[in-house]
Amino acid sequence: MNFPVIKGAAYALIQANGMLFYQGTTQTSERLKNSQSEHLQKLPEHLRSFDQAVSYPPNQAYIGNITPDDLKQIPQPWYENPVTGARDGKHGEIMPEDEFLGLMKIVDSFELVVLEESFQAGVKEKLQTHPVLNDIEDITKLDKTPGTSDELEQLVAEQSAQPLYFDGKLVGCVKRAHEFDEALSSEVMLGNIANKASAVLALKQMLAKTDLNPEDVDYIIECSEEACGDMNQRGGGNFAKAVGEMCGCINATGSDTRSFCAGPAHALVEAAALVQSGIFANVVVVGGGCTAKLGMNSRDHVKKEMPALEDMLGAFAVHISENDGINPVIRTDAIGRHRIGSGASPQAVMTAIVTDPLDKAGYKITDVDRYAPEMQNPEITKPAGAGDVPQANYKMISALAVKRGEIERTELLKAVDSFGMPGFAPTQGHIPSGVPFIGHARDMILKGKITRTMIIGKGSLFLGRLSNLFDGVSLLMEKNDGKVDTGFDQEAVRLMIADAMRDFAKAFRE
């Protein structure tokens, strides 16, 4: 079968302390109840500097400068063991918040983002020399319609605009897009514009770091957890085209796919199907970051005297293309899925998304070199009471191997160690879900270090209060065997005709 391949992947992180404090929902909920609460008083002391965010080992792993195996060797807590890191990464970059606010204005099509004059001029200068963004057409927006500090204060105080802070100063705001439509409120618009801007950064990174040309992109699937629309169609869409428009993908169309944290895995399956069916040759899956989740567990981090580690917006882009005989393939004949009737117990979920597809492909659990389930950074989730999420997933996979008699119970932890990796993604919902490993996996497979990995997305559908169902999708990413099926084998056809002629001649003689 001619499987589609993963031709490239890129990643972006944006440090966003201002948005953590003013727009993260843990903080906005707290502010509603008590604007002088102890948490809000203490939180600023726990915010990291940009340099601290850059040298934070999991962030360096996310942008590809160190591998998950390197990260495993670095003692925890990682925030006390910084590495020499760079903001530019093999697979992407870490951006500071001031530049990102500039990028938000660049991608804003409705003049909702207002930046203070001198701040705007400052970030324009920085973005003009940005290696990936300097050619973005709408950078000229940073010459236009700045605001004064007074205007910003007035917009925030009287027009319910969302404040944008940098270094403790009010440097801008996002206005509401409608006077009373809640779907276009300033909170929603800020989240959506930040999501779009971060997705643009990831896609621009991919276009810069791989040989994909923007005009060759046929289809874009966006898979974050935001909704864009007005009160008559709150989730109307379309983030995908809005992102592609900013990146010069003039020949692409696209749409949005949603399934909570499992969205990216669904999107990859859809992209693979579009390519393998021959409908489109180059499909990009893209996901931007989530401002609401910034500082989601910061109450626990503050209480435990830790830095507020959830200060990063995450984004990614993955390029799926036709089989080139080189890049790792997606085994579309063994896609795992949590069926509506699968049940909600952890073993039912894991059986549906891990062992069912392995059975289909004829593999044992231990035939997969690495599993990439939800790669949440444990340093963020453990203090919040969620435990080490990737580790728990690895134990579940190993426990299934025990139940299936593939390994002994005493070998459970050994198996976890062999196919597991430490989590290194920020808790941005859909961002950790398997995809952060794709860039590393592609490198490792191309270098022959591993043969096969399983990318697993899991989603908590019950949070939407429409269904109690869970969700999950998985896909196997595997070394390319180098054989490309061109669809028409001339030699085979010649032999078939010769056989038929011979049979015909024989029948005629008899």
Partner 1 sequence: MLKGKKVAILGDRDGIPGPAIEECIKAAGAEVVFSTTECFV
Partner 2 sequence: MDLENQARIKDLNDKYGNEDLIVVLGGAEAEASGLAAETVATGDPTFAGPLAGVSLGLKAYHIFEFKDEVPADVYEEQISMMEMVLDVDEIVDEVKTYRK
Contact call for residue 409 and partner 2 (CB under 8 A): yes
Cα radius of gyration (the chain): 24
Question: Contact at 8 Å (CB) between 16 and 311?
Answer: yes
Q: Which is nearer to partner 2, 60 or 398 (CB)?
A: 398
Contact call for residue 396 and partner 2 (CB under 8 A): yes
Contact call for residue 188 and partner 2 (CB under 8 A): no
Residue 114's CB is within 10 A of a number of other CB atoms, namely 22
Amino acid at 468: N
One character per residue 288-307, x = contact with partner 2 (rule: CB under 8 A)? -----------x---x----
Question: Contact at 8 Å (CB) between 419 and 413?
Answer: no
Contact call for residue 312 and partner 2 (CB under 8 A): no
Phi, psi of 371, deg, nearest 5: -105, 135
Q: Which of 313, 400, 444, 454 binds partner 2 (CB under 8 A)?
A: 400
Closest CA to 137 of 116, 157, 109, 163: 109
Q: Which is nearer to partner 1, 348 or 484 (CB)?
A: 348
Q: Distance (Å, rounded) from C-alpha 196 to C-alpha 100?
A: 11
DSSP reduced 3-state for 393: helix
Question: Alpha carbon 65 to chain centroid distance?
Answer: 17
The number of CA neighbours under 13 Å toward the Cβ of 249 is 26
What, of partner 2, partner 1, none, does residue 402 touch, CB below 5 to 8 Å by kind? partner 2
Interface stretch with partner 2, choices 112-120, 316-324, 388-396, 439-447 (CB under 8 A): 388-396
Q: Which is nearer to partner 1, 355 or 433 (CB)?
A: 433
User: What letter does residue 92 receive in the DSSP assignment?
Assistant: E
Considering the complex, what minimum distance in angstroms separates the CB of residue 106 from partner 1? 31
Question: Contact at 8 Å (CB) between 61 and 35?
Answer: no
List residues near partner 1 by CB under 8 A.
261, 296-297, 343-346, 374, 376, 381, 384-387, 389, 392, 427, 429, 432, 460, 462-463, 468, 470
The number of CA neighbours under 13 Å toward the Cβ of 86 is 8
Binding residues for partner 2, total number by CB under 8 A? 24
Q: Which is nearer to partner 2, 288 or 383 (CB)?
A: 383
Considering the complex, what minimum distance in angstroms separates the CB of residue 389 from partner 1? 6
Cβ neighbours for 507, distance < 8 A, ≥ 6 positions apart: none
Q: Which is nearer to partner 2, 63 or 415 (CB)?
A: 415
Residues 127-156 that bind partner 2 (CB under 8 A): none
Q: Which is nearer to partner 1, 388 or 411 (CB)?
A: 388
Residues of this chain that interact with partner 2 (CB under 8 A) are: 29-30, 299, 303, 345-348, 350, 382, 384-387, 392, 395-396, 398-400, 402-403, 409, 412
